[in-house]
Amino acid sequence: MASLVKSTEVPLEKLKWVLEPSATEANTFYVHPKAGGMVLVQIAYSTMSWSPSVQVSAAYHGADGSKKRHTASLSGSSFRPAEDGISVTCENMSVQFDASKKSYHVTLNAAPAMVIDFNFEAVDGFCQVNEGKVPFNHTDISVGYVSAQFIPKGRVTGNVIVDGKLHDIEGTGLYVKALQSKPQCAARWSFANFQTEKDALLMYQYELCRGYGYDFDARSEGALVLDNKIVAVTLNNFATLLNKSYDSFSGYEVPSEVSYRWEGEAKDGRPVKIEMKVALTHLLDKIDLLSELPFFVRKFIQTCITAPFVYQWFEDASASVTIGEETHILKGKLFHENAFLAALED
């Protein structure tokens, strides 16, 4: 698998909704409020069944341990992209892009249970690896591919109302735009979103089902932000799941610890090496995705994928970042997610 990052710039065209057949496409916002806790908001458009569908998801995790989730499955006809091809409205949710500020205004009205309103502004722009699109087979793109663009560090201002109570969610966060063509090709995802006040680490890793002649078994894209600047985008990364045990809820071997390694080159040419090892003790959620999907999408997935489950943790973490001769110890909050889609031999 190629490990050379030739470019990281993201043209506006790459931020537009593609709405491709046999694919799932999503905008996801991960917010780390200064007050603590975690907020996630996602709008996903799927063409994995006979007719397109939309999934709107949001979760509020308070610093006090409180939790509220909202999901809604909608018809594809309710999904209305704006003239810019980036902004979109869908019934009670809106994502509006401001190109001049490189920012998004996100609203979701699921009153009285949950009302969300925030601005998410890029601190140092977007990034992607090379062209952003990675085909599973370079000679036949119809086999499937993943395309991903990121804001690894964003400033967030706004609030969430949960059951009538207002919560200020000013803080930092991560934005991911991802398109998965033939998502049934992936067996497991590992995702890391680490944030401090001015720094950030991202790892976006997927492992493919074996035995189908794909060009690679695993792909991992990473980014490093130091002092509000994107310092490096990397490809020589890996998340290793440790101390796994069987969970009867999902039928998968689930980790209690994870080790991350990033290696690459900074924008100024210096070598970059990052290490972080974290015990997974604070489980935010474990989700049976089938239970939340529209009927026809669910039936398709039951045919093509064994059983999709998502596990999410939120932990205190420390990362060792070495750039050339300099070493930085970053202390912050880590959101770690594993999506198990099919059995995979390690």
For 91-115, the pLDDT digits (tens) are 999 999 999 999 999 999 999 999 9
For 195-223, the pLDDT digits (tens) are 999 999 999 999 998 888 899 999 999 99
Cβ atoms 307, 298 nearer than 8 A: no
Looking at residue 193, the DSSP 8-state letter turns out to be E
pLDDT of residue 297 exceeding 50: no
Domain ranges for the chain: 20-340
Looking at every residue in the chain, the average pLDDT score rounds to 92
Rounded Cα gap, residues 58 and 41, in angstroms:
4
pTM: 0.95
Fold annotation for 20-340: AttH-like fold (2.40.370)
pLDDT of residue 36 exceeding 50: yes
Mean pLDDT within 159-188: 94
With cut-offs at 50, 70 and 90, classify the pLDDT of residue 49: confident
Distances (CA, A) of 71 to 19, 103, 202, 243, 292: 21, 24, 25, 32, 7
Higher pLDDT, 298 or 16: 16
Mean pLDDT within 288-315: 64
Residue 174: CB partners within 8 Å, gap ≥ 6?
A: 29, 30, 150, 151, 152, 153, 154, 193, 195, 200, 202
With cut-offs at 50, 70 and 90, classify the pLDDT of residue 186: confident
Cβ atoms 120, 104 nearer than 8 A: yes
Mean pLDDT within 10-24: 94
Cβ atoms 10, 125 nearer than 8 A: yes
pLDDT of residue 29 exceeding 80: yes
Mean pLDDT within 144-152: 96
Which residues are paired to 60 by β-bridges?
39, 68
With cut-offs at 50, 70 and 90, classify the pLDDT of residue 346: low
pLDDT at 303: 41
Looking at residue 212, the DSSP 8-state letter turns out to be S
Rounded Cα gap, residues 220 and 274, in angstroms:
14
pLDDT of residue 256 exceeding 90: yes
